[in-house]
Structure 1
Amino acid sequence: MFACAVLATTGATAQQGTQGVRVPVRFSAVAQDLDRGLSTPLRITIDRWSTDQVQEKLVNVLMTQGENKLLDALQGAPKVGTIGTTTSLAWDLHFARQMPGEDGGTRIVLGTDRPIAFSEQWNSARTLDYPFTVIELHVNNDGDGEGTLSFATKVIPDAKNHTVVLENWGTQRVRLTQVKREKS
């Protein structure tokens, strides 16, 4: 598990201003699953940033009503972009925020529910307790960087620190390498 200020980041964001990454924007990346030794090319499209109001609503729902209600609220949030492999249909993203990175670049946090396979649902697999996907990108001013993808994740509120703790189903998050902003 690791602590993450995914939903609890307010104030210092550069959502619509002149700093940070302007939308719409597309990124390509290579997802490296270290548990299984697999690599897959990804495409990430961000059409717009989530508003402060959406972020505050999601934080409030998580802190007061829990993870299941957060899933409902996230699924009901407007689509902000997509993520997918180069050989599959894209999956809608419902949360996208950016903030200044520690190195002068930009930190981008994306969130959504995750696709649930029929067999997973039918068998009531334990993985159903991990319904979220959280992506974090760190890009420099040229749009190049790296990141992580937490595919099957629980989001646990830490009200004391006003953050969330992400618990992954697998032993490691998926590393995103060769992150590049695509030129229009």
Structure 2
Amino acid sequence: MRQKAPIFILAICFVTSGAAMGPVLAAKPIERLTAFAVDMSNAAGRTRAGSIDIVIDRWSTDVERDQLRAALREGGPDSLLRALQKIKDPAGYIRSAGSIGYPLRFAREIPTSDGGRRIIIATDRPVSFLEASNQPRTLDYPFMLIDVRLNAKGEGQGKLLPLAKITANEDHVVEIENYASEPVRLTEVKETK
């Protein structure tokens, strides 16, 4: 059974936030997070866990956010995917132990009322040659979404949807469908220097 994930994950990406006014390119990352990821969903067939690194090199701009919002509203998920893939400068990357990493195309930081922050990340997901040649149903879930919530000390938790479908209904409400039975849980999230 496939569940619709709460819309909060991507909806925040499409709301106005003053947190990112322009591209911030850094010689060294502006944000580096480590987390322990636990996948208890049915998609893997078994429970998997391990550490991941999320590195942010720049925050996405309001212009990029507006382009993605317009692409989804006017052309649907395929248009959103193309617009996301056209973003020239990756916002950062994600990697697990022993991997080279995968670029993250969109990242926004949103301050919270308790002095913490919320970090929303969206990207196209990697598709292996085997997956592409077999044409399974997972190809209908081309997005990877990450929602991290940090307290004022830079510690927190989050969720990762490695296979997500993003649509907008006739009222332009963003709907997110997770391929797996539940998101990957990100625990022990910490800022690292």
Assess if the C-alpha contact under 8 Å between 2:114 and 2:152 holds in 1. no
Aligned to 2:48: 38
In 2, Cα distance between the equivalents of 1:51 and 1:9?
12
Q: Secondary structure at the match of 1:87?
A: coil
The TM-score normalised by the length of structure 2 is: 0.86
Give 1:6-155 correspondences, 5 Å limit: 6-11=12-17, 13-15=18-20, 24-35=30-41, 36-77=46-87, 78-155=89-166
Deviations 1:79-98 (A, max 9, x none): 11000102111100000011
SS in 2 for 1:146: strand
Question: CA deviation digits over 1:63-117, x for unaligned, max 9?
Answer: 1111001111101112110001021111000000111225431010001000111
Contact 1:32 1:176 in 2 (8 A): yes
Q: Partner residue of 1:173?
A: 183
CA contact (8 A) 1:7 1:164 kept: no
Secondary structure of the corresponding residue to residue 121 of structure 1: helix
Stretches of structure 1 lacking an aligned partner (at least 5 in a row) = 18-22
Following superposition, the deviation at residue 14 of structure 1 comes to: 2.2
Q: What is the SS of the residue equivalent to 2:80?
A: helix
Distance in 1 separating the partners of 2:114 and 2:158? 14
Rate the CA distance shift 1:69–1:111 in 2: closer, same or farther, 3 A.
same
Number of matched pairs: 176
Distance 2:121 2:39 in 1: 18
Does the residue aligned with 1:66 lie in a helix, a strand or coil? Answer: helix
Task: For residues 108-154 of structure 1, give each alpha carbon's deviation from its aligned partner in whole angstroms, at most 9, with x where no partner exists.
Answer: 00010001111111111100000000000000122110000000000
1:123 and 1:132 mapped to 2: Cα distance? 18
Asked if the contact 2:60/2:107 (under 8 Å) is kept, the reply is yes
SS at match of 2:14: coil
Give % identity: 40
Equivalent position SS for 2:69: helix
Q: TM-score w.r.t. structure 1 length?
A: 0.90
Q: Which amino acid aligns with 1:14?
A: A
For residue 166 of structure 1, report the CA deviation from its aligned partner. Answer: 1.1
